[in-house]
Structure 1
Amino acid sequence: MGDYTRTLKRVLPRHIFQPEPWRILWLLPLVAVAVAGIVAVARFDLPWGMDLALAMVIGQAFASLGLFGHEVLHGSVVRTPWLRNLAGQICLWPFAVGPRLWRRWHNVEHHGHTQEHGEDPDAMHTLEEFHARPALQYVYRIAPPVRAVLTLLALSVWFSLHSVQMLRRFLPEMPRRERPVVVAQFLLPVASWVALGAWMGFGDWVFAYLVPLLVANFTVMSYIVTNHLLSPLTPVNDPLANSLSVTVPRWVDVLHFNFSHHTEHHVFPSLSSKYAPLVKRWCKTLWPDRYHEMPHWRALWLVCTTPRVYERPTALIDPVRQQVYPVLGHGLERLARPGERAAQPVPAGLTVHGEHAHGRPGRSGRRSAPPGAGIGALRDRGGWDPGQPGC
């Protein structure tokens, strides 16, 4: 990380590292669209098709607010603590996530330990965890095409459910005096949305909040799952190895505050997203062989059609079918071209990007652990090589 930032700061203008306080004005149109849509659903007796269209608009406003709140809470807009927290609370109000929880979960833990097994709260499962979790074992008994559809549908609730898990995980670790504030920052939004439903009635509330929340969850999670879940687990925080940027139409980048530029964000978390395209150009110039990028739709398709269990840091596995899949930097990008199957799984015992799937050296000469040995055994036996490409 230090090598990247030092190199880039030599070529980037100094002024881009200052906050962009005028961007706080983005709150006005985003909140106005969301409120206007909710009022329209509540006040007018519209056909259900019109209500659904309004719900989609409200949902996109919620999603944009959430993505803007992510930028605000990194300090790239304003750095005055009370104003930063107030703006962040407003932005994340639809998701019932408070700024204190978000900064601990996302800014400290996720950014500090990206794709580090056991430390990153957003990293996915290992083989040890699979064997210890009956519910996860049940999921992988589902036929892969059905599991792919369910994964896509799960994006509509994933962020909300994960945020509740993060509240349960980090609340006991916070200073005692902060806990009431963290709980209040969760309960107040929940109470406001319940009160809204009691006032307008369940039928209107579905279109004013529930459907928009599903849309916002899906939009935000369609980025989050592609940010890192196709990448290797890494023993050091290397954004060019453990992060993926995706490409979307320019108007989508405007609406979503350049959240597609995720590798750039991990290199400079507190840099305004306004300058992410500039950082991208330099990353691709300086490290063309390490930088990972693909169309958003293709990355999302790969997330849905590959398993989320790490057989080792550089390979994913379907534990039930014993099929091994490469990750970014280790062969996945070559299997992600149009017209090809998402993963082209390799049966146990065959090579995956120069390595045998189980216990025998491939062309690289490295060994991987036998089935079920998992990350811990790999680290002990030297199977996790920080010097290999992408780590």
Structure 2
Amino acid sequence: MQSTDQKKFLLQADYAASLRPLLPPEAFLPDRSKIWILLINLAILVLGWTMARHLDQWSWQWMWLYLPFALVMGNSVIALLFSTHDLMHNSAIRNPRVKQALTLAGLALLWMPPTMWKAVHNREHHRKTNSFQDPDRNYLHSQPFSWGKWIQNLFVPSSEVNPILLAVGMTQAWGIHVFRNLTSVLIFVDGTAQYTQASFKVSTKERRKIFWELLAIAALHLGIIAYIGVKPAGLILGYFLPIWIGYAGVIFYIYTNHMMSSLTPVNDPLANSLSLRVPALIDALHFNFSYHTEHHVFPGMNSDYYPVLQGLLQSLYPDRHNLMDATEAWRTMLRTPRHYLNDNVFTDWNGEKMVECPLPRPMG
């Protein structure tokens, strides 16, 4: 039997049942366009690495001309994650070998083995969104000190964060997120890692696949470095800088997706997720990833139809749907602490500051 508090929430299945008949059938068909976009962004990166091979031949006064292309490459890193993310939620690729190759290529620059992504994102995060068992949530104030919690506290946007460490963290937090979760499943096979937000287990078969995929990713990165050559200008501008830009863009979305929401006892996407308003060009480049509540209502839906779904959510659930300008979401994160004191109150590292979660909880 549900508690009184749980009755305030709806399940993802409840929203899906009411909304599915109102959406066009083509919104749920496999979206093969993401395959081509993934390949185009891989081509952009290869072009950038080819240019970087010759940067040592440029006069140093002109190397700044490469920076705009490094920004384009950084966006391609973001696009690779989001296009692969969409492909792994739907059935656009049916051939298992082709799917393995494309998803490995799409996630390699993010150091994320596809089998790990399926476990941590598709299985753990989507089924347990912003609950105590979600590995993507904020740390609890009551969780013991660990290196994972300490680094998160240093880097994540909050009312206490040092601006310099925040800037550094924007380029490094994704890598720390991946390292934290990868080591937790590869080393702590029984799911007892204490440095993650919420530990989880993978099967022996999955662990083996994650290990071999990780080796393939490492080999690919070494291959890129060898292709560019061990030349400071080429490596910094053509390899590290685009990756750092891409990681910063990815982590901005991840920070705002759920980290201002309350912990929820059941998976209610309208209570535990936030959608953002961003410029139309950004939505076009990033596959409508800003429509994150919509994604959690229908994870396998063609993201081109998220604006239609958002209109229905605002019409049917106007008091439950959370939508905020991206700039306002960022400012709000910088005004609030980041550790959960309880399911609806944030506190700081020392437990001295207490602020209610800025996104409203359902009132029943």
Q: Compared with structure 1, are the counterparts of its residues 222 and 288 closer, same or farther at alpha carbon in structure 2 (3 Å cutoff)?
A: same
Alignment of structure 1 residues 186-197 onto 2, 5 Å: 186-197=214-225
Q: TM-score, normalised by structure 2?
A: 0.84
Alignment of structure 1 residues 28-43 onto 2, 5 Å: 28-43=39-54
Task: Name the SS of the counterpart of 1:237 in structure 2.
Answer: coil
% same residue: 30
Task: Name the SS of the counterpart of 2:347 in structure 1.
Answer: strand
Contact 1:54 1:207 in 2 (8 A): no
Contact 1:66 1:91 in 2 (8 A): yes
Task: Name the SS of the counterpart of 1:225 in structure 2.
Answer: helix
Partner of 1:68: 83
Partner of 2:334: 304
Distance 1:90 1:135 in 2: 28
Structure with the bigger RCO (C-alpha within 8 Å, sep 6+) is 2
From 294, 306, 309, the equivalent of 1:276 is 306
Distance 2:247 2:93 in 1: 26
Superposed CA deviations along residues 360-380 of structure 1, whole A, max 9, x for unmatched, are xxxxxxxxxxxxxxxxxxxxx
Distance 2:239 2:183 in 1: 24
Task: Name the SS of the counterpart of 2:334 in structure 1.
Answer: helix
Partner of 2:230: 201
Contact 2:103 2:114 in 1 (8 A): yes
1:226 has 2:256 as partner? yes
Task: Name the SS of the counterpart of 1:232 in structure 2.
Answer: coil
Q: Compared with structure 1, are the counterparts of its residues 125 and 145 closer, same or farther at alpha carbon in structure 2 (3 Å cutoff)?
A: closer
Shift of 1:84: 2.9
From 286, 292, 305, the equivalent of 1:256 is 286
Q: Compared with structure 1, are the counterparts of its residues 87 and 137 closer, same or farther at alpha carbon in structure 2 (3 Å cutoff)?
A: closer
Shift of 1:19: 0.9
Larger radius of gyration: 1
1:294 has 2:327 as partner? no
Partner of 2:98: 83
Contact 2:34 2:87 in 1 (8 A): no
Deviates more, 1:21-30 or 1:85-94: 21-30
Superposed CA deviations along residues 235-277 of structure 1, whole A, max 9, x for unmatched, are 1000000000001111110101100000000000011111111
Contact 2:260 2:359 in 1 (8 A): no
From 27, 32, 38, the equivalent of 2:38 is 27
Query: Which runs of 5 or more structure 1 residues have no equivalent in the other structure?
Result: 331-387
Aligned length: 332
Contact 1:41 1:54 in 2 (8 A): no
Alignment of structure 1 residues 1-391 onto 2, 5 Å: 1-44=12-55, 45-46=57-58, 47-75=62-90, 77-117=92-132, 119-129=133-143, 132-133=145-146, 136=149, 144=159, 146-171=161-186, 172=189, 173-199=201-227, 200-203=229-232, 204-320=234-350, 322-330=352-360, 389=362
Q: Compared with structure 1, are the counterparts of its residues 219 and 33 closer, same or farther at alpha carbon in structure 2 (3 Å cutoff)?
A: same
Contact 1:38 1:58 in 2 (8 A): no
Deviates more, 1:159-168 or 1:247-256: 159-168
Shift of 1:191: 2.3
Contact 1:19 1:79 in 2 (8 A): no
Contact 1:140 1:320 in 2 (8 A): no
Distance 1:137 1:69 in 2: 30
Deviates more, 1:155-164 or 1:194-203: 194-203
RMSD over aligned Cα, in angstroms? 2.4
Shift of 1:323: 1.9
Shift of 1:286: 0.5
Task: Name the SS of the counterpart of 2:89 in structure 1.
Answer: coil
Superposed CA deviations along residues 307-350 of structure 1, whole A, max 9, x for unmatched, are 110111111112437221121444xxxxxxxxxxxxxxxxxxxx
Query: Which runs of 5 or more structure 2 residues have no equivalent in the other structure?
Result: 1-11, 190-200
